[in-house]
Chains A and B, each alone.
Chain A
């Protein structure tokens, strides 16, 4: 804003304040009503939709669903967009670049949009940004809420040609919630991890796969706590996907 605009704004605002009304009671009565309503809604929800107990933590892990609370769904979905990473969209884009750019834009926004105009329909750029961000956040949250949480208990993968070791590996895969981040032949969540249907095509040996399970790249959690034979079977299973087991 230019100096003249600032002076004009200050003068205008001083005038409106002079002809204004006292905070008490004219603003505070509205504040109290809306805040009271909000707290009432919370109490009603607490009574009607009771909080439940989940399953206690077991770091050695059985089936789990790494799902954040709903207000982080958008971040989780953002991760999925970058799931099948390539040179243009590495995972670091979703875990670091995009969130930080958004945060910086949020903080410095008033220093970007500095014009004196305040009327809603005279600020097409700001309103365009608002529509884009709001619909984006709503859409991603909706996506997060409506994607299946991995696969149902008892469901198996549509694979053929599994030998004993691979079947054991499949069981480990299913029991450890891998399918809440990975998809194999259309079963499981489409992200944030890449699809594993053709994992065998990479030609890794078991030692390399076991090492990956112990020290993966974030956001995939480490599975170093699994028993060695489980890791071995899991690796046999993964390294044959798309080649031996289809």
Chain B
């Protein structure tokens, strides 16, 4: 009896299959998705290699909570503080979203530093992953800059004056400093436009940059493959060279020993030879 594959009978399943096939026909997602998910990685990857993904997840959480905050936040010196108070005290779950965004910022910085620490300690930045490191360094700086620009947005005394000091520091740099200061402040002094400028930098410019660089970072990671832990069972070349050298030295030593000490006595004490 021959069976003919007519696909799933369930009309919903059939519909989904049709849509997926339609998209796949034009984009090839099935193949690339399969390749992405089922590509091989070295067998002994460790828990330390989850930190990059965790940083990415936290960035996603910051994006989502940030979008919600932006629905209520008003980037104007007269209303900013009030809108934050509104979010904190009145909006349903507002305190929670704000709390997650604030703690999420700290958590992201901790995780990014831990991730960088593991990459450093493992020497995972070495050939061929130098550019992965460079894009990562850019991500670190942008993450820090997110913290700096976001701090001002609550528009309270502590944040305001800390930001005045920080911008002063940028502005005191030689040659380019004054221009950077003017760009950050939207003018020579802290004014009404400063807040909306920081808002724009915080929620459009840098997140765009981070998303772009996460893309580049991932491109390198997927293209080059994730590195093995330095304690991987399969020895790398440097280790094999070392072992070769050790064996050779041992051979030489044995040979040397035979040649100078053990060989002549062997002749003397060789019972067979002597007795014959």
Mutual binders A and B: yes
Number of interface residues of A (CB under 8 A): 86
Number of interface residues of B (CB under 8 A): 91
With a CB–CB cut-off of 8 A, which chain A residues contact B109?
71
Cα–Cα distance between A92 and B175 once the two chains are bound (Å)? 13
Query: With an 8 A cutoff between CB atoms, is B274 at the interface?
Result: no
Query: With an 8 A cutoff between CB atoms, is B184 at the interface?
Result: no
| CB atoms of A110 and B133 under 8 A apart | yes
Query: With an 8 A cutoff between CB atoms, is B148 at the interface?
Result: yes
| CB atoms of B130 and A111 under 8 A apart | yes
Pick from B56, B121, B171: contact of A120, CB below 8 A: B121
| CB atoms of B165 and A66 under 8 A apart | yes
| CB atoms of A219 and B172 under 8 A apart | yes
| CB atoms of B140 and A51 under 8 A apart | no
Min distance, Cβ A167 to any Cβ of chain B, angstroms: 25
With a CB–CB cut-off of 8 A, which chain B residues contact A1?
126-127
Query: With an 8 A cutoff between CB atoms, is A43 at the interface?
Result: yes
- B residues neighboring A (CB under 8 Å): 36-43, 45, 47, 49-51, 53-54, 56-58, 61, 77, 81, 84-85, 88, 95-96, 98-100, 102-107, 109, 111, 117, 120-130, 133-134, 137-138, 140-141, 144, 147-148, 151, 154-162, 164-166, 168-169, 171-174, 177, 190, 225-228, 230-232, 234, 236-239
- A residues neighboring B (CB under 8 Å): 1, 5-6, 8-10, 12-13, 15-24, 26-28, 30-31, 33-35, 38-39, 41-43, 45-47, 49-51, 53-59, 61-62, 64-72, 79, 91-92, 95-96, 103, 106-107, 109-111, 113-120, 122-123, 126-127, 130, 134, 177, 217-221
Q: 22 pairs across A/B with beta carbons < 8 Å?
A: A9-B237, A12-B236, A16-B43, A20-B41, A20-B42, A20-B43, A23-B39, A23-B40, A30-B50, A34-B51, A34-B53, A50-B99, A57-B156, A95-B169, A95-B172, A103-B141, A109-B133, A110-B129, A110-B130, A119-B231, A218-B168, A221-B164
Cβ-closest 3 pairs across A and B: A54-B156, A46-B99, A218-B172
